[in-house]
Each structure stands twice: as C-alpha cells, then as structure tokens.
A and B are shown apart, each in its own frame.
Chain A
Amino acid sequence: MGSWGCRIIMERLFYAFLMASAFATTATAASVTNTDSQTVVLVVVEDGKRVEIELQPGDQQTICASGCFVTLPDGDRIGLEGGENVEIVNGSAVVK
C-alpha cells in the first residue's frame, strides 16, 4: 500500500494481539474507600484535570484509570499508579 503498509499492518496486528492480551492483565483502576464516620472530600488530579470527589462514610469509588494524584483531607498528597486499594482512615490514606 505504501511506506506505512506492511509496517503499520504488522504493528496493528500486534496491537490487536496486545489488546486481546490486555483484557487479562489490565484492570488498573484504583479504588478508594472511606472508613471514616464523616464525609470526606478528595481532590483528584487525573488526565490534567482537577476533580473533587465526595465520599460518604463507607462509600467506595473507583478512580484513576491511568494514574493520578490525590490530596487527602489531612493535607497529604499521594500519587497513585492505579491498581491500589486506598482506605481513608481518620482523614489520611492507607494504601494497600
């Protein structure tokens, strides 16, 4: 087809294969659980956007499909690569 023909088709086949295998391996989102008795507000920076997330007591949410920064109620910041389970205990984060 062109300079891209063989190369790109090969690459794309490879990507298709990668994608197929990715199903098994990637479930990279992180989950945050609020174990405190009051509502907490987290500031999540993901994909260049700053979003505030409100978590009711006992709530669990999935954040960070591709890594993010979280600012916790006690002022601490943590970076999450995805795949972590974060529990909020007394306003600070316990990463598992």
Chain B
Amino acid sequence: MFSGVKGGFLRSNISMTRRLFLMSFCLLVAFATLVGTVVPGFAQDQTAPAGQETIIDQAQEQIAQARKQMEGYRDQVEANRTDDLRLVDIKGKVDELGREVIKSTVTLRPRSDEIKGRLAELGDPPKDGQPPEAQIVTEERNRLIAERAQINAVIGDAENLSIDISTFSNAITEIRRQLFTDTLLKRTEVSFDLLGSVPAFLAHEAIQFQDTIGSWLAFVWKFKRIPLAVTIFLSLAAALVLLAGSYRVFGSYTRRDPTVTDPPYITRLAVAFWSTIIQTSALIAFLGLSYFFMSTFNVLRPDIVGFVLVSFAFIGLVYFVWKLTHAVLAPSEPNWRLVRISNRGAKFLVASVVVMAFVNGLDYQLSSISVMLGSAVELTVVKSLVASLIIGSILIVVSFAKPVLNRSGNPEDPGRPWPRYISIMLRLAGAALIAASLIGYIGLARFAATQIVLTGAVLSTMYIGILSGKAVSRQDAFAGTVLGRYLEQRYKLGSVALDQLGIAAGLGIYFIAFLTGIPLILLSWGFQPKDLEQWAVRLFTEITIGSISISLVGIFSGILIFAIGLLATRWFQKWLDGNVMARSHVDGGVRNSIRTGIGYVGVAIAGLIAVSAAGINLSSLALVAGALSLGIGFGLQNIVSNFVSGLILLVERPFKVGDWVVTGTTEGLVKRISVRATEIETFRRQTIIVPNSELINASVGNWTHRNRLGRQEIQVSAAYESDPREVIAILQEVLAANSAVLRNPEPIIEFLRFGESSLDFEMRFFLADLYQGTEVRTAIRIDIFERFREAGIEMPFPQRNLTVRFEDDNATTSSGKLSEALRMASSGSKPKPAEKLRPVDEAGMIKS
C-alpha cells in the first residue's frame, strides 16, 4: 500500500527496475546456497601464500566497494525521499548488500582455519627456561599470527559495515513509514476556491489528453501499424487458445445448467470458481501479453506507458470483480446462488459492488492521466474527493438495502434487512469515508476505499474457498465431485475412504484459502513481503513458548520421515518376502517371523529418526525414559513380559502361523503372532487371543510343529460269528488301497477286545497331512462297510440276552401277569394302568 498511495498520487513509476529486482531476488535465493558452498571450496584450493594474500585483499576490496556502494545508496535515498517505489527498490538492494558483505567474509574462513591448524601444530612459543626453537618456526608463527590478525581486522571491518548497513536499512524503513503517514494524513483544504479552479484545469487536461492520445495514435498509425496489429493478433490468439483449452478441460463446470432445479452446493461452488478463474485469467493473459508485445515492439511511447498499464489493470480488475460478484450472487439464477440473498438484493449488490470497483479504479485511472500530463495537483485531489464521496455514499445506500433472503425461502419475495452489525459497519465505513474526504484527508479516504474494494474481494474469495472446503468435507459430498468419482473408478475406493479423502480435501482447501488470502490481505495493507516471509519462516521454524521452542517444520518433517520410513519398511518387507524368501522356498513360519521382525525394527528406526528430525533431543528423552522405567517395571510388567514373550516366540518359533496348537484351554489354528498376544482360531471359528507370556510359560501342544504327520484311529466292530483273521485281512487291504495312508510308519490293526456284543478292532495309521484326516477316515469307513457287506461280515447291534427269574410264592401271579401282558400287547388292547409293564433294566430285573 505504500507504493499504492504513492504510485497513484505522486508519480507513476513504471520502470522495470522493481521487476528486475524481483527476478534478481529469486535468482539470489536460488543460488545463495550454491554460491555459499562453491566459494569456500574454491578458496581452499589456493594454498600458495600469494593466493592467500589475494583472498584477504579481495575481501578487503569487496568490503571497501560495498561501503562505497552503500554511500551511493545513501545519496539515492536523499534524492528520492518522496518516491516510495524507489525507496523499496533501494532498501532491497541495501539488504542484499548486507548479505553480500557477510558472504565476502565467508571466503576467508578456510584460510583462517588453516592458520589456526598450523599454529596449533607449531605450538606455543618456548617459555623462559625452555630451549629456543628454530628461527624459521618463530618466523612462520609470527607471520601466521599477523595474517590472522589481518583477517580478524577485515572481518571486523565487515562487521562494522554490516552494522552501518542495517542501521541504514532501518532508516529507509523509517523514511517510508513517515512518507506513508504523511501521504495518508496529508490534509488538503477542501474549499470553494479549490473546487472553482477545477473546471478550468479539467478543460485544459481534457485538451491535453486528447492531444497526447491523438499524437500517440497518429504515431502508432504512421510507424507502428504492423507491430500493433501483430500485438493484437498474438495476444488475442494466446487468450483464445487459453480460453478454448480451459473450456475443453473445464467447460462442463463453467456453465450453469438452467434445467437443474436444485444443484448441490459443491457444484454451485465449482461453477462459480471455474467460471471466474477461466474467464478472468484469459482476459489477464490477453492484457498482459498485449502489454508485453507492445513494449517489446516499442508501440508504447514512454509518456503513454503509465496510462496504458493503468488502463489494463483497471479493465482487468473491474472485470474480475464483476465476474466474482456474478459468480457468488448469480443475480438471474437464484438456484445457483452461493449466499442466501433475495433476487432483488443480488441484483442490487452486484451493481453496487461493480460500481464501487469501477469508481475506485477510475480514480486511479484518472490520476494516472494527471500524472502523465503533469496536471495540477488540485485536479487529482478533486477527482479522488469525488471518488471517495461516491464510494462512501454507495456504502451507506447498501447498508439500508434489504437483500437477505426472506424467511419464506423464496428468492422472489422481498428480502429482509442486513444483520445489525453489518449494516452498522457499512454505515460507519461510508460515513468515515465521506467525512475524511470532506475534512481534507483525501489520501486516507482513498486508501480506505481501495482497501474496502480490494480486501473485500480477497475476503469474499477466501470465504468461497472456506465454504467449498466445508462443503467438500461434508459426509458423502466428496464422492459426488468429479475428482471423487474419478478416484472411485480409478482406484476402486470405498465410500469410507472417499469420505476420509473428502475431509482431507476440505482441510487442504481451508489451508490454501488461508495461505493465499491472509498474505494477500497483509500485503495490501502495506506489509512488506520480506517481513511476511520472515514471520512465516519464524512461525514455521521456531515458536518459542518460555524456554521451549517448537518448530512446526520440524514436527511436520518428523511425521513425514516417519511415514516415509513406514512405507519403506513395508516395501522392504514385501520385497524380501515376495522375492527373496518365496523364491528361496523359505518356510512360511520363518518368513512370517522375519517379516514381523523387520516390521518392528523398521518402525523403531523410523520412529527414532522422526523424533530426532522433529528436533526432540533423544538424550532428554532418555532421561524421561529412565524416570519412567521404574513405573514401567511395576505398572506395565505384564505388557512388557508379553512383549518380550512375543519376541521370543518370533525367534524361537515353537509354533508358526497356520499351526494346529493345543494350549491349556484352547485348540485351534494360529492365525497371527503379534507382539502382545497370539490369535488362535478354533475349529468353530472363534478367535481366541492368548497373551504371549502364557504361550511361553505354559506347555503348548503343536500338532504340526515339524511336519503335518499325524496318527489317525478308527474303531471297527465285527460280530462274534466272523473270523477275526479275515476281518484283519480286509482291514489291511482297505488301508493298503487308500493312497493317503502312509506305508511307513506302517499301519497297525489291533484286536482290541472281546466286546459285549462284538469283536472290537482298532486301525491305527499315519497320514502325511493331518488336515486330510476327516476325508480319509470317512473314505476308509465307507470302504470297510462295503467290504464287510461283500464278505458277509456282520457289524452287530448291541445284543441283550434277557433272563427272567421268578420267585416261588409269586410265581404264578407274576407269570400270569406277564403272559397276560404279552397276550394283550400282541392283541393290541391296552392293559390296565396298574398292570402296566414296568421297565426292565439291562440285568433283566424289573425296576420298582
């Protein structure tokens, strides 16, 4: 803003110097480190005494030159005390000079180190009583000490110069601050004399303007006809290419589809954003290129340059404001509107804002004409006065408008008034503008008016950004966006992942909105880019609270390094597992152990590096760990013991993932061995989490420890009528016929016992894979059944021989009852309840 006020009011300096400075600044930033590293390296090579002389001399020379340069700048500042643009320029150069001075001393460092090293080698001069040293040593030492003193003197010189330079730089800032306040607070008496003199000046200026423009046009027509045509053609072509290209890419997002009755908020925002950006950037490209080609082809005359540049800026800015207000307020398409404003309100606001921007721009445009023509200051003052009065009145009129959407929600209905604080703010701003300009503080009024327009535009853009961030991070909103749909198709993302991405995208948009908006506002308020840069650097590298200093960059880089370390570990794990170990036919359990082990090591290393990258001192962490270890010893005993047990499990591998284990209470397959606990899945698919320490301390049965070999048993019974040898032969044949049954160890068939109703046999055989047990057993049983049936061997049911004894005295009645019951049972009639048969137990005794 320093430059803004000055640039418009006093002189419009359109020299390229500032731009050049900018470019050189970038280059310097880019190459500073390069130069810093190259120069000392170069100096180190010069070891010859003559070379050293040159280095010191060179540095001295450079410092002397810098001092001379600074004096030159001092004169320049004196000459340009009222020209803010020049002052900014000079200050930049002075600051750069300060850095140069420091840099010039850096070249001396290697030589200084060399001298120090050599002096240490030579040692101290002999003290009294010690034998004298060789003459040559004394001479060298003296020479080196002298040289060291010389270097220190040169650096001391540089130090003093750098103090001078800093003081001078601060003085320039002070001059600029003074200039700014002077310009802002300069009071011009607004009197009738002043106003009365304006018409004459105005007429004069109009004629002059006509002359100048006319002569320029004549000049262009006479000498620069073709360059002008080429200029217009080239810049128009470039703008059209840009426009066409961006329409091709974003075309569908820039048009409001009138058939859509209720477009989602995010679509509305996207359309608002892209339609503003594309069209404005095409126009800016056209204007910028036109200006570039015109100055390249010398179509512009020096007297006209300022006027043309201001006109272009004026057109570009008014167009931008116009597009922006249309994008936000959508005066003729209420369903596409971004804010809750009624139809009439939208139209009115668009008109007011555009008129304000136009008047404010025109103010600068007209003062550029005055500058070009060197008109009387009064004229500029009066123009600004009028502009400020118009803007102030518009603000007051707007404050009385009723643009807020009616409670009915219908944009056709007449709106409600502004919220109280907004209307009061608008009225105060308008009144202040008018009052300030009428009292005579026209600079201040103009500054404020520009701020209202400019800051307002930036703020409303930021606001759209924030709104869109909010809209994107709303549940399921991201999936509806173009990017969301693309990601969904391309990477087959689920709705949850998309939702999380939406939150991240929303945060990203907030971040961008604040990151660009706040610096823009601060810059327009007159802060220097350099200041902002330093603030930002300080904010991100060192926030000091008491004696603790936090570095955001450090923390972020720590997190980043941790993430990278984690990714690298995962990749390495995958690579080792998938390529090296899988190809080397390493056992699955070993692979799992190694993979898990590498995972823990990788995470630990990444964590340690990240912690140190975040700037947390590991030694101070060790102190905390020492203090905590006692607590850990007691409180986390179990967890630590489980952790250590887990490590032992990984190394010792009593079982591995996929093993069939039996612990005290559970039996199942090992699914996962993690640091604290092991997951075992039972055959009923219940997952049981067993703490590792239990697996280490208690006995664990493992069916598949070294191999999957396992014994199976099948019991078979045959009737007493059958021949046991035949039965055993059949069973042997059945086993021999089954390919899954191992021949070695040999299957065994044992004649188990003489059962109650059968001869019992047991087949014991081994399978290579325990997991086949069920199938094999079933197959063998079916075979046995079939073979027995063929051979006529009966598999008996339990047989009961019933022996009934009768007591002597009750014999007749009992036998009579029994025979009667049997008879009744066979004839189908029911016995009397009292005579119902009692159940008979196995021994044939009737239960009472």
Chain A interface (Cβ < 8 Å from any Cβ of B): 1-9, 11-16, 18-20, 22-23, 25-29, 45, 47-50, 62, 65-69, 75-81, 83, 92, 94-95
Asked if B572 is an interface residue, CB under 8 A from chain A, the answer is no
A26 to chain B, nearest CB (A): 5
**What are 13 residue pairs bridging A and B, where the CB atoms are less than 8 Å apart in the complex?**
A1-B450, A1-B454, A2-B363, A4-B4, A4-B7, A5-B313, A6-B288, A7-B19, A15-B523, A19-B533, A25-B29, A67-B99, A81-B106
Chain A nearest CB: distance from B229 CB in Å? Answer: 24
A48 to B314, CA, bound (A): 42
Main SS class of interface, A:
mixed
Q: Contacts A1-B450, A3-B306 given: A12-B529 contact, CB under 8 Å?
A: yes
Count B-side interface residues using an 8 Å CB cutoff.
82
SS of B interface (majority): helix
List the count of A-B residue pairs having beta carbons below 8 Å apart: 183
Encode contact with A along B344-372: 1 for CB under 8 Å, 0 otherwise.
Answer: 00000000000000001101110110010
Cβ contact within 8 Å between B361 and A1: yes
B534's contact among A7, A65, A94, by CB below 8 Å, is which?
Answer: A65
| Neighbouring A residues of B103 by C-beta, 8 Å | 79, 81
Least CB distance, A93 to chain B, in whole angstroms = 9
From B109, B159, B314, B453, give the contact of A69 (CB < 8 A). Answer: B159
Given contacts A3-B364, A19-B533, A22-B536, contact A45 B109 (CB under 8 A): no
B310 touches A3 (CB 8 A): yes
B155 close to A77 (CB less than 8 A): yes
**Of A20, A62, A80, A95, which contacts B542 at CB under 8 A?**
A62
Asked if A95 meets B109 with Cβ closer than 8 Å, knowing A1-B454, A3-B8, A69-B102, the reply is: yes
Q: Please, which residues of chain A bring their CB within 8 A of the CB of B368?
A: 2-3
Interface residues of B (CB under 8 A from A): 3-4, 7-8, 12, 14, 18-19, 22, 26, 29, 32-33, 36, 98-99, 101-106, 108-109, 112-113, 116, 148, 151-152, 155-156, 158-159, 162-167, 169-170, 284, 287-288, 306, 309-310, 312-314, 316-317, 360-361, 363-365, 367-368, 371, 450, 453-454, 515-516, 519-520, 523-524, 529, 532-534, 536-538, 540-542, 549, 553
With A48-B165, A69-B162, A78-B109 known as contacts, the answer to whether A18 contacts B533 (CB < 8 A) is: yes
- In this complex, what residue of A is CB-closest to B105? A79
Known contacts: A27-B541, A80-B102. The answer to whether A6 contacts B515 by CB under 8 A is: no
Contact A77 B162 (CB under 8 A): no
Tell me the bound Cα distance from A66 to B26 in angstroms. Answer: 16
Q: Complex Cα distance A94/B112, Å?
A: 11
* Structural contact, A12 and B523, CB atoms closer than 8 A: yes
Complex Cα gap A48–B95 (Å) = 12
Q: Which residue of chain A has the shortest Cβ distance to B291 in the bound complex?
A: A6
Q: What CA separation (Å) do A52 and B595 show in the bound complex?
A: 55
Residues of A within 8 A of B540 (CB): 23
Give bound CA distance, A83 to B103, whole Å: 13
A79/B364 in contact, CB under 8 A: no
Residues of chain B within 8 A of A20, CB atoms compared: 515
Q: Enumerate chain B residues within 8 angstroms of A94, measured Cβ to Cβ.
A: 113
A75 and B158 contacting across the interface, CB-CB below 8 Å: no
Given A69-B158, A80-B102, answer yes or no on A45-B553 (Cβ-Cβ < 8 Å). Answer: no
